[in-house]
Amino acid sequence: MGGCRVLCQVWGGWWRGPGVGSARKVAGFGTEARRQLQPRGSSNRSGSLGNQPFPGLLHPENLSREELVDVLRASVVDQKGKPGELTLFSVLPELSHSLGFGEQELQVVRASGKETSGLVLLSSCPQTASRLQKFFACSRRAQRPTATYWAVTDGIPATSEGKIQAALKLEYVDGVGSVVPVKSPSRKDILEGVKRTLSHFRVVATGPGCALVQLQPLTVFPSQLQVHMVLQLCPVLGDHMYSARVGTVLGQRFLLPAESTKPQKQVLDEALLRRLHLTPAQAAQMPLHLHLHCLHLPGTRPRDAPIELLAPLPSYFSRTLQCLGLRQQ
């Protein structure tokens, strides 16, 4: 599977330009069935992650083009092949040259959402990119999950696992896009861009008023997982776009009308803030705790075992798990 690169993206702002975690290179893409990707200098030891509210959170707006290329190049975790606004796309030519591809173009094969951390799959080989895109498309038609996300949620889902199904559409108000659910969509709605979406979820760990949830989308739609968790009345921690749709009266949560609820900074209750050791002002800057943890890819040849790529958690995500007592299983 020539010409592939996998980046471990530590913080989103994907379209604006991600902060990317430093992770080691692994030669020979497609030679192992499972790989755990660890950042340089990482340790399996548990313990204090310091007093920073969001350790490991990078700010792309503070980087030059050259510095962003260096960060991206250092973030390659798997490879095979020849050694206006700042965004990942805008520096792909420099990244390609830095990785030894010369004039070959890098293209994005698979990536997480705009503000989601985790894996980014790039390819300089059109045939490889096409093969992978066909694999992902076939997997979606067969409802086989190829991506696994981890999310920390404000609230605990009512059931420990299940499916979330919702018809969603993308609406624009004053130039800002927002995803809203559509009840009982008609055939006309489907033709006009409404899509039926589906995700699997499983609660991995729980704490007082919070949970670590594994999510596997079986369809592709912008902000699908964030909106699905809001529909479960458990918005993802750091979701400053959709969390305001969940209201609370006398301790009972309910959904507010999506069409009339404007995005706002997520508001957390005092008990959760204390456990996170955050002030309300710090919580308003909290990054989205949604991480593309695992990608399943086909082997290099038809008879080869499938490949499983695992991305380490960003430091701020690990800190949150420690503060909330949510243990990974």
* Tens-place pLDDT, residues 196-216: 999 999 999 999 999 999 999
Cα–Cα distance measured from residue 231 to residue 209, given in angstroms and rounded to the nearest whole number: 17
Of 121-130, 197-206, 214-223, where does mean pLDDT reach its minimum?
Answer: 121-130
Give the β-pairing of 307-310 and 34-36.
parallel
DSSP letter assigned to residue 125: -
pLDDT at res. 7: 56
E strand or H helix at 138: helix 126-141
Cα–Cα distance measured from residue 48 to residue 265, given in angstroms and rounded to the nearest whole number: 27
pLDDT at res. 201: 98
Residue 41 reports pLDDT greater than 90: no
Residue 21 reports pLDDT greater than 90: no
pTM confidence score: 0.77
DSSP per-residue string spanning 47-72: S---S-SSTT---GGG--HHHHHHHH
Extract the tokens encoding 325.
Answer: 């007592």
Q: What is the mean pLDDT of the chain?
A: 81
Cα–Cα distance measured from residue 109 to residue 130, given in angstroms and rounded to the nearest whole number: 9
Give pLDDT tens digits for 142-201. Answer: 999 999 999 999 999 999 999 999 999 999 877 788 999 999 999 999 989 999 999 999
How would residue 329 be classed by pLDDT, with cut points 50, 70 and 90?
low
E strand or H helix at 198: strand 195-207
- Please answer whether residues 245 and 174 qualify as being in contact, where contact means their C-beta atoms are separated by less than 8 angstroms: no
Residue 87 reports pLDDT greater than 90: no
pLDDT at res. 321: 97
Which residue bears the tokens 């899509």?
195
DSSP letter assigned to residue 87: -
- Please answer whether residues 152 and 210 qualify as being in contact, where contact means their C-beta atoms are separated by less than 8 angstroms: yes
Buried b (16+ CB within 10 A) or exposed e, 192-207: eebbebbbbbebbbbb
Cα–Cα distance measured from residue 233 to residue 317, given in angstroms and rounded to the nearest whole number: 21
Q: What is the mean pLDDT of residues 220-230?
A: 96
Most confident of 5-9, 67-71, 270-274: 270-274
Q: What are the Cα distances from residue 47, in Å, to 40, 151, 204, 319?
A: 18, 21, 21, 9
Q: What are the Cα distances from residue 321, in Å, to 44, 105, 324?
A: 14, 38, 5
Cα–Cα distance measured from residue 297 to residue 309, given in angstroms and rounded to the nearest whole number: 8
